[in-house]
Structure 1
Amino acid sequence: MLFASQSFLVVFLALVLGLYYAVGDSRAARQGVIIAASVLFYGLWDWRFVPFWLAMIGFSQMVAIMWGRTGQRLWLRVGIAGNIAVLFGFKYADWLVGSVMHWMGREHVAWPIVLPLGLSFFVFQKISYLVDLGRGQARVYRLADFMEFVTFFPQLVAGPIVRHNELIPQFDASPRNAAMWENLGRGGLLLLVGLGKKVGLADTLGTICAPVFDAAHAGHVPGMAAAWLAAVAYMLQIYFDFSGYSDMAIGMALMMGIRLPFNFNAPYAAVSVRDFWRRWHMTLSRFLRDYIYMPLGGNRCTPLRQAVNVMVTMWLAGVWHGAGWNFVVWGLLHGAALAVAHVWDRAGRTMPRVGGYVLTMGFVLLTWVVFRAADLATAGHMLGAMAGLHGMGGAAIRHPVVLGLAAAVAVIGPASQQVVLERLRPAPWMAVAAGMAFVLLLFLIGGRPPEPFIYFQF
């Protein structure tokens, strides 16, 4: 079931919220509603994976219990290794075998593996919990509390990547409190903003860039103008698609009285690559910093070792996004850029903000082409076309109003979560406008084939 669907918004979410508030004063009943709704939400995607999903949760809980009873780190190592093994088996095994077979000059028939929805996200959440247990920064939770944390459906599929100590304590408070109406109002408005980003902007931008990338993958190299237009459209599409999902997730959680961490802070206003990663997918950046970069030594080491730490961290970030050499290259490019930025800072150098902005956005744009391409050959076709190697060509600008609006919102900002949650003041006209916008977006959804969020594939 997709967030941006009429059945989810009008039926599923309305029923869940109604039940949740009907039993709002009972901790156990609220917990039951959330867990049941989350299982149903996941099962509506593919019921065959529900037993596997629940077994993974039970495995991690068993490991935590055994750690609590024995204090032996072996249990935590088994838990972390088990989660990584499942992720590897579903996401990377076929790709690696295929790559080896290709290097050996042999044909590989792809294995019929279906990637469970949201696998990377809930594996990361469980790994962070097990690591925190070993660090003495977590306690062993009851199975129901742990299951509620891992399955919480607003952020289950594509984040934000939430830590146990950010979410589980919030489950104790009843949503029926003095802030209830404000939470419902602001949460609903943020949900609406995210829906508008997804349906009104991202899906429309996808119709601009997808045909060009698909043609390049098929061997039809576009002209320079078409390639640049597609690259810019995708740069905007992935931002509004993923930040739209994050807004909807954070908004739905707030409607239940629960605050999730911000995930985007106007990333296309960044003036350096380091600044970009402080603003883009902020919970993933935090996870990479705290559970990979810092344990490797972080910046508490020689410049060369720090560069290696950065490269390893971003290589893993690239691989986390998908099984493909284009994702590996994308991660390594960002790792190299961050390593250079660290060297630049150590040398005491500075760059004018305008120059830093142009250089950063140019780098981000070009690396998004590598990220979006089906493979490295397609990325080469697109980058070559953008360099003018295949002629200027012509490109009719489809949906120029949407493209211009998206560019203005992405560059000028500010971040939607800050506006809705911190700056806006309630007003009757706002409720009327939001209601009208919601109805219009519902009609727009009904007139289009459903488009999954881009990050669902990761």
Structure 2
Amino acid sequence: MLFSTQAFLILFLPLVLIAFYNCVKIKILRQLVLISASLLFYGIWNWHFVPFLVLLTFVNWIIACQYGKNIQKGWLTGGVILNLAMLGFFKYANFFAENIDDLFGIHHTTWNIIMPLGISFFVFQKISYLVDLRRGNKHIYNLIDFFEFVTFFPQLISGPIVRHNEIIPQFEKNPINPQLWENISKGLCLILIGLVKKAGIAESIAMTCNPLFDQAASGQILNMTEGWVAAIAYSLQIFFDFSGYSDMAIGTALLFGLQLPYNFNAPYQSHNLQEFWRRWHMTLSRFLRDYLYIPLGGNRCGPIRQSANLITTMLLAGLWHGAGWSFVAWGGMHGIGLTINHAWKKVVPFSFPRHISWIITLLFLSFSWVLFRAENFSTASHIWQSMIGMNGFGTYNIRHNIVFYLAILLVLFCPSSQNLINNYLRPSKWIAIIGGIASAYFILLIGGRIPDAFIYFRF
């Protein structure tokens, strides 16, 4: 089920809220409501994988309990290997088999493996928990708490990647408390902002972005204007699509009195690549930092080793996004970019003015997003050639051009959603009226469209 559908907004979510608040005073009942609703939410997409989600969650809980009884780290190591094996099989089996067959000149017949929705996200949750146990965290949770942590539907499919110690302690707190109406009002505002980002901006920009990438993939030559429009359009589309999902997830959780970590903080206002990764997909960035980059040695070693750690981390980040060499290369671009960023600060005795470094960062991101979006290296190469003027200048008629230019202004100059809600929004009947009208409009708007899945569902 998609957040940006009438079925979710006017049927599923209200019914779950009614059931939840009817038994909110009894912890186990409100937890069972959320677990049941989450499994239903997941099952509406594909019921075949509900048993897999339940079984994998139960096995991870058993592993944690066994470790709690005898403190043998082999249980945790085995659990991490199991989770990685599940992720590797469903997401990468065909990719690795195809590349191995290519080495021997054998044609690979693609295996019919359907990837469970959200596996990259809920596997990372389980891995972080098991690794935390191995590092000395002694939290062994009961089965209901652990199931709610893993399956909680707002973050189940595409994050944010929530850590156990961020959300499980919140389960003890009755949502009916002095913060109730503040949580509900902020939650509704975030859901509306996310809906506007997804249905109003990302899907409108996709009508410009997708045809241009399709033309490049088919071998058609794009002129310079078309190349830049394609790159900028996808940079905007992926931000508004994924940050819109995150806003709706965080807002939905607030309706149940639960706070999820923020995932975006105006990333296109970054002045260098290091700052960008502190602002973009923040929960993934910290996962990569805490569970990969730092264990590899982080910045506690010499410059060559640190560079290797950065590049390795980003190569694996690229592979996490998709089973394809273009994703790996995209991660490599960012790894090299981060290495240069770190080296520049240590070696070069001057810094660019902030507005120049901002422009350089945006240019790098625009070129790198082309590789992320392109179906293959050939498509990316065609668009890059156009961007540097090798195919002439030309013009292009941007669809929904007002939305396109407004989106550019929003990402470059406006505060993030959470800063807007927390620091600028104040209770007002006019905000409530405008928000209600906007909500009704966008709910009607999405009812007349074929549902378009969020971009990160494929990862």
The corresponding residue for 1:388 is 389
- The whole-number CA distance in structure 1 between the counterparts of 2:229 and 2:205 is 10
The corresponding residue for 1:248 is 248
- The whole-number CA distance in structure 2 between the counterparts of 1:438 and 1:302 is 53
The corresponding residue for 2:213 is 213
The corresponding residue for 2:345 is 345
Whether 1:455 aligns to 2:456 is yes
Q: Residue by residue, what CA displacement relative to the aligned partner does 1:234-282 show, whole Å, maximum 9, x if unpaired? A: 1000000000000000101111111111110000000000010010001
**Bigger mean CA deviation after superposition, 204-213 or 214-223:** 214-223
Whether 1:3 aligns to 2:3 is yes
Shift of 1:138: 4.1
Letter in 2 for 1:108: H
The corresponding residue for 1:334 is 334
Q: 1:129 touches 1:138 (CA, 8 Å); kept in 2? A: no
The corresponding residue for 1:69 is 69
1:47-126 matches, cutoff 5 A: 47-126=47-126
Q: 1:117 touches 1:456 (CA, 8 Å); kept in 2? A: yes
The corresponding residue for 2:379 is 378
The corresponding residue for 1:407 is 408
The corresponding residue for 2:285 is 285
Give the TM-score of the pair, scaled to structure 1: 0.98
- The whole-number CA distance in structure 2 between the counterparts of 1:70 and 1:354 is 57
SS of 2:113's equivalent in the other structure is coil
Q: Residue by residue, what CA displacement relative to the aligned partner does 1:382-408 show, whole Å, maximum 9, x if unpaired? A: 111222222334311211100011001
Give the TM-score of the pair, scaled to structure 2: 0.98
Letter in 2 for 1:344: W
Letter in 1 for 2:425: L
Shift of 1:53: 1.0
- The whole-number CA distance in structure 1 between the counterparts of 2:25 and 2:419 is 30
- The whole-number CA distance in structure 1 between the counterparts of 2:74 and 2:423 is 45
- The whole-number CA distance in structure 1 between the counterparts of 2:350 and 2:311 is 21
Letter in 2 for 1:248: M
- The whole-number CA distance in structure 1 between the counterparts of 2:216 and 2:60 is 43
Q: Residue by residue, what CA displacement relative to the aligned partner does 1:1-38 show, whole Å, maximum 9, x if unpaired? A: 10000000000000111111111111011101110000
Q: Residue by residue, what CA displacement relative to the aligned partner does 1:354-390 show, whole Å, maximum 9, x if unpaired? A: 1110110000010000000011121111111222222
Letter in 1 for 2:197: K
Q: 1:198 touches 1:241 (CA, 8 Å); kept in 2? A: yes
1:318-333 matches, cutoff 5 A: 318-333=318-333
- The whole-number CA distance in structure 2 between the counterparts of 1:437 and 1:181 is 20
Shift of 1:104: 3.4
Letter in 2 for 1:409: L
Letter in 1 for 2:246: S
- The whole-number CA distance in structure 2 between the counterparts of 1:279 and 1:138 is 30
Shift of 1:225: 1.4
Q: Residue by residue, what CA displacement relative to the aligned partner does 1:403-440 show, whole Å, maximum 9, x if unpaired? A: 01100101002001111133311111111111100110
Q: 1:263 touches 1:282 (CA, 8 Å); kept in 2? A: yes
The corresponding residue for 1:440 is 441
Letter in 2 for 1:34: L
The corresponding residue for 2:204 is 204
The corresponding residue for 1:231 is 231
The corresponding residue for 2:308 is 308
Identity in percent: 51
Q: Give the alignment's Cα RMSD to 1 decimal.
A: 1.0
- The whole-number CA distance in structure 1 between the counterparts of 2:144 and 2:191 is 27
**Bigger mean CA deviation after superposition, 349-358 or 101-110:** 101-110
- The whole-number CA distance in structure 2 between the counterparts of 1:295 and 1:23 is 44
- The whole-number CA distance in structure 2 between the counterparts of 1:125 and 1:158 is 12
The corresponding residue for 1:16 is 16
Q: 1:186 touches 1:251 (CA, 8 Å); kept in 2? A: yes
Letter in 2 for 1:196: V
Give ranges in structure 1 of 5+ residues lacking alignment.
Answer: none
Letter in 1 for 2:24: G
SS of 2:45's equivalent in the other structure is coil
The corresponding residue for 2:27 is 27
SS of 1:44's equivalent in the other structure is helix
SS of 1:92's equivalent in the other structure is helix
Shift of 1:48: 0.5
1:417-432 matches, cutoff 5 A: 417-432=418-433
Q: Residue by residue, what CA displacement relative to the aligned partner does 1:148-201 show, whole Å, maximum 9, x if unpaired? A: 000010011111111000000001111111111111111101110001000000
- The whole-number CA distance in structure 2 between the counterparts of 1:399 and 1:66 is 57
- The whole-number CA distance in structure 1 between the counterparts of 2:122 and 2:221 is 38
The corresponding residue for 1:135 is 135
Q: Residue by residue, what CA displacement relative to the aligned partner does 1:182-223 show, whole Å, maximum 9, x if unpaired? A: 111111011100010000000111111101111211222322
The corresponding residue for 1:222 is 222
**Bigger mean CA deviation after superposition, 341-350 or 287-296:** 341-350
1:163-174 matches, cutoff 5 A: 163-174=163-174
- The whole-number CA distance in structure 2 between the counterparts of 1:412 and 1:174 is 38
- The whole-number CA distance in structure 2 between the counterparts of 1:245 and 1:439 is 19
Equivalenced residues, count: 458
- The whole-number CA distance in structure 2 between the counterparts of 1:120 and 1:42 is 14
Q: 1:138 touches 1:165 (CA, 8 Å); kept in 2? A: no
